[in-house]
């Protein structure tokens, strides 16, 4: 199965983001893009060429980047505020809290190259805390699409959604997992594969890895359910409770620290409603060594083999 998967076309989800954004901007003159000198890395060159006045580049100034977004929203615009996720969230966290979430402004934060997408550039450029930081702030939706189709759907959703939302995008290639025409629903998980022995919950770049792991597990006679949980907040409590009750064990996988992210969010639901054995895979609370995103995910036990191995051990913990 791995050999076949290697030949599958991989998508840079930034392309789906900008194609959708340009289509939205064509329909609605209130759609604007705001960036921090990140025209190229946010793939906004096409947007700039088509809508030069509607691309606002504040320069390398993330606090002003987010503040300007809030002001544009106050003036009736629908700002897509784009920047490398590590700087967008880390450098301007207080602006996200006060100007966007607490002020309830209609700002769309687009975290580009999230997780460990910048790989070898090192932990300064990794964004493996953003779920935790933003989940701790009230009134902002947090979404990590798993592929090109879900990215496009989530961007369209964000434009129509009234209120603060953070979309966490990668630049690392992923295969298409969801069907063309897929509609994004905030707070709803997608059942990608059913199973009764264990549930793998993942989002972003981990969803396709979890699906591959499920294939490896099936070969060993373990039927794994796979839930794509793009929406970290609000989170699909019902799908998590159902998975806990029906499969008896949950393994989460994320390109994020295991402290405060998807795994923590799932664990909070499990603890409150349906305690079952769980394991959280992610960045284990250390600054990663040098390596590409895919290398580091493997390194931290999130290769399909690694996920399958952890899932197998988890199944053995079920009483």
User: Residue numbers of the site for another protein (CB under 8 A)?
Assistant: 32, 53-54, 56, 58-59, 61, 63-64, 66-77, 79, 94-95, 98-99, 102-105
Give min distance, CB of 54 to another protein, in A: 7
Give min distance, CB of 31 to another protein, in A: 11
Phi-psi region of 248 (alpha: psi -120 to 50; beta: other; left: phi over 0): left
DSSP string, 214-258: HHHHHHTT--EEEEE--EEES--HHHHHHHHHHHS-EEEEEEEES
Give min distance, CB of 25 to another protein, in A: 12
| Residue 122: how many other CB atoms lie within 10 Å | 14
Which one, 78 or 270, has the nearer CB to another protein? 78
Q: How far apart are CA 72 and CA 85, in angstroms?
A: 20
Which one, 71 or 291, has the nearer CB to another protein? 71
| Residue 114: how many other CB atoms lie within 10 Å | 31
Residue 246 structure tokens: 């029906």
Which one, 73 or 169, has the nearer CB to another protein? 73
Which one, 2 or 29, has the nearer CB to another protein? 29
Look at residues 265, 234, 230, 262 and name the one whose alpha carbon lies nearest to residue 138: 234
Which one, 77 or 256, has the nearer CB to another protein? 77
Give min distance, CB of 30 to another protein, in A: 9
Give min distance, CB of 23 to another protein, in A: 19
Buried b or exposed e, range 151-188, using 16+ CB within 10 angstroms:
bbbbbbbbbebebbbbbbbbbbebbbbbeeebebebbb
Which one, 62 or 130, has the nearer CB to another protein? 62
Look at residues 188, 196, 174, 199 and name the one whose alpha carbon lies nearest to residue 114: 174
Give min distance, CB of 88 to another protein, in A: 14
């Amino acid at each position: 199965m791995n050999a076949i998967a290697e030949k599958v076309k991989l998508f840079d989800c930034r392309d789906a983001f900008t194609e959708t954004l340009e289509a939205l901007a064509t329909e609605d003159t209130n759609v604007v893009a705001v960036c921090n000198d990140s025209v190229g890395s946010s793939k906004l060159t096409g947007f700039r060429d088509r809508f030069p006045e509607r691309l606002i580049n504040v320069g390398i100034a993330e606090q002003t980047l987010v503040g300007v977004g809030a002001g544009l929203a106050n003036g009736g615009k629908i700002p897509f505020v784009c920047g490398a996720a590590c700087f967008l969230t880390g450098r301007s966290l207080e602006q996200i809290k006060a100007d966007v979430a607490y002020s309830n402004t209609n700002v769309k934060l687009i975290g580009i190259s999230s997780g460990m997408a910048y790989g070898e550039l090192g932990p300064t450029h990794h964004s493996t805390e953003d779920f935790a930081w933003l989940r701790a702030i009230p009134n902002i939706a947090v979404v990590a699409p798993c592929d090109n189709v879900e990215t496009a759907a989530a961007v369209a959703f964000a434009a129509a959604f009234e209120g603060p939302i953070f979309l966490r995008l990668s630049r690392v290639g992923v295969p298409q997992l969801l069907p063309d025409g897929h509609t994004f629903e905030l707070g709803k998980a997608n059942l990608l594969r059913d199973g009764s022995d264990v549930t793998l919950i993942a989002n972003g770049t981990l969803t396709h890895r979890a699906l591959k792991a499920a294939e490896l597990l099936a070969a060993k006679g373990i039927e794994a359910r796979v839930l794509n949980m793009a929406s970290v907040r609000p989170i699909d409590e019902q799908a998590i409770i159902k998975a806990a009750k029906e499969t008896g064990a949950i393994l989460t996988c994320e390109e994020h620290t295991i402290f405060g992210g998807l795994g923590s969010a799932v664990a909070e639901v499990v603890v409150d409603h349906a305690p079952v054995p769980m394991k959280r895979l992610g960045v284990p609370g250390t600054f990663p060594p040098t390596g590409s995103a895919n290398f580091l995910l493997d390194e931290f036990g999130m290769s399909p083999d690694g996920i399958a191995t952890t899932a197998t051990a988890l199944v053995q913990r079920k009483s």
